[in-house]
A and B are shown apart, each in its own frame.
Chain A
Amino acid sequence: MSQSTPWFAVRQALSKKQVTTLTLLSFFLPILLWSLVSYVPFLWHPKIEIVEPGSVSWLKPGMLVERAVFSEQQRLATEQKTALPQGTRANPIYLPAPHEVAIAFYSAFTTEPTRSSEQWLHESLWHSIQVIFWGFTLSSLLGVPIGILCGTYVAFSKLQEPFIEFFRYLPAPAFGALAVAILGIHDGPKIAIIFLGTFFQQVLIIANTTRKLDVALLEAALTLGAKKFQLLFRVVIPGILPDLFRDQRILLGWAWTYLIVAELIGTSSGITWFITQQARYKNFENVYAAIIMIGIIGVVTDILLAKLGKRLFPWEKEQVKA
């Protein structure tokens, strides 16, 4: 007889089916909430969308007014026995319904830019991805080796880490104006902001990961005749690779969080340009679509990297997910 796994047992693993159910629910619940608020009129819908302005001169079809204002106008019209304005309850413009965002998701890719100088959405996205890529790559090219050296040699750590500890508290966006002054208004300063936001954390995190390598492995290597650089290249680096890879995945996520600020610096560009532009036109469904797109790119990248990690490091024991 198979005993079903209880749903709530302290730190006990759930069955595969339960995990799948919960994973789906974690996305389904917020969408359900959003749908309820969007489609069930009496739940919220604080506005009235005008269908027929009636005798009220300043109302126009499609206009959104407060419910209180609308009922006042209806009362006035009734008193004066003129044509009543008609309307339906609606949500504010900044909360589009799920289906509107879903349509926007599709149409955002198929809508031609309004001006020839502007970019298609996929071009904007690609531009953002390139900014992230260069910012993160430059940071890693410096940050990973420095982190490993700091974690391996105390002298390096003492020389670098106090300053880095100080610098990491300085908010990267604060360097925006400086970055523009030095690097111009195009991609240079944006890449610099992502670099600044990632690099200092990266050195400290990777130094820490390096320090967590079991000393016994280094001692074993010493008794086997390994010397200086052999110790670094044959033990330290391969020993920390799986953890290093995990760190890089987390850091890449952080790099994304700096993207929006970075892209606002100088001439606004990429997905941020798209978002601000659409918000200006009050096309909020497009704004949501773009934000969700960033989320999807982030999650998909992370899942792909996790899969890659499993393939690259077959000796890593399965991490127990609590």
Chain B
Amino acid sequence: MTQIELPSYLEQSEAVSARFDKLKQREVILEVKHLGKQFNSQQGLVTALKDINFKTHRREFVCVIGPSGCGKSTLIRILAGLESPSSGEVLLDNKPVFEPGPDRGMVFQGYTLFPWLNVKHNVMFGLEMQGFTKATAESEALNWIELVGLDRFADAYPHQLSGGMKQRVAIARALANKPRILLMDEPFGALDAQTRSKMQANLIEIWRNIDITVVFITHDLDEAIYLADRILVLQANPGEVAELIEVPVPRPRRSGQIISPEFLATKKRLEELIHPPSEEDDADGLHMIRMAHVGDDVEIME
């Protein structure tokens, strides 16, 4: 078997590195400083997040990835203000975040459209909360619905939509508030593979066209590489930053890039970080059971 020689994931083409230089000069939208989170559980005090630090620049797309239990959902809930950190702070435009607010839009993994409102009124909801008149809210909402390509469904109720359509409405609903940052918590996790890749392309398209910064949680390596400028890799127990990877895959992204050397090199690195081979054996405390040809005995390997 021939091993394909991959470049290092740290190698960037000139265009890509120029892009990152420019990106880092942009203003910082979100800053996370020494963020920690501890829970009281039956096993005592559990540290979900430990000393998380990162910055997100304007119009940057950051993916957060990590093994299950690394606290990525907790992290995004803290960013949204739905949970409070045990230590450290979250700054949005240099102002600390204490509670949920319309400046941070959120798209959840589960479907959270209001079932009693049709698509249009779902998208209008945030605008009305902020005191816009019905007429303003409506025309704004219709623009956003058009942007996510659902103009024909403005009057439909959520239960009449497919999973992918629901999430598109959720994106429109969050963006209609003109948030500084869009937080997405595994928004495509419940979708089938085809819909998911369509949604990814869709999201990239939206992101390219408007001034929005995105923090996107996922456990799908391909999804993270395809979408992100930078990937924040967390490790579990306690949830800590393992590495902040600058994705060397050039933009605009196409689905064909999934087999490009840069893509594969990045994926290889993510694999190493998230599924370290040495710990594989007893990763979940599984006992390997192997049949042995010694009489009828079954040997249980510890």
| Residues of A in contact with B (beta carbons under 8 Å apart) | 214, 216-217, 219-227, 230, 234-235, 238-239, 241, 313-317
Contacts and interface: CB of A to CB of B under 8 A. Distances in A.
A179 B129 CA distance: 47
Nearest to A224: B126
Nearest to A216: B112
B116 A241 contact: yes
A282 B117 CA distance: 58
A222 B157 contact: no
Contacts of B183: 223
A214 B108 CA distance: 13
A315 B159 contact: yes
Contacts of A227: 129
Contacts of A221: 114, 125, 129
B116 to A, nearest CB: 5
Given A217-B114, A224-B174, A314 B82 contact: no
Interface string B87-126: 0000000000001111011101010101111000000011
B168 interface: no
B66 interface: no
A227 B100 CA distance: 9
Nearest to B130: A225
A315 B157 contact: yes
Q: Secondary structure of the A side of the interface?
A: helix
Given A225-B101, A225-B177, A315-B158, A220 B112 contact: yes
Given A224-B125, A224-B174, A225-B101, A219 B116 contact: no
Given A223-B80, A223-B106, A234 B125 contact: yes
Nearest to B111: A216
Given A225-B102, A317-B159, A230 B129 contact: yes
Given A315-B159, A317-B159, A222 B100 contact: yes
B106 A220 contact: yes
Given A223-B102, A224-B105, A226-B129, 19 more contacts: A216-B108, A216-B110, A220-B108, A220-B112, A220-B114, A222-B82, A223-B81, A223-B104, A223-B105, A223-B106, A224-B177, A225-B101, A225-B130, A225-B177, A238-B116, A239-B115, A241-B116, A316-B115, A317-B159
B173 interface: yes
A290 to B, nearest CB: 41
Contacts of B117: 238
Contacts of B102: 223-225
Contacts of A313: 116
Nearest to A318: B159
Give 9 closest A-B pairs by Cβ, nearest first.
A225-B102, A224-B126, A220-B112, A222-B100, A223-B106, A225-B129, A315-B157, A238-B116, A216-B112
A61 B174 CA distance: 86
A20 B217 CA distance: 51
Nearest to B108: A216
B116 A315 contact: yes
Contacts of A315: 115-116, 157-159
Interface in B111-149: 112, 114-117, 125-126, 128-130
Contacts of B100: 219, 222-223
B114 A239 contact: yes
A316 B158 CA distance: 10
A314 B156 CA distance: 11
Contacts of B82: 219, 222-223
B79 to A, nearest CB: 10
A220, A227, A238, A315: most-surrounded residue (chain B CB, <10 A): A220
A230 B126 CA distance: 11
Contacts of B115: 239, 315-316
B105 A235 contact: no
A219 B112 contact: yes
Contacts of A214: 110, 112
B83 to A, nearest CB: 10
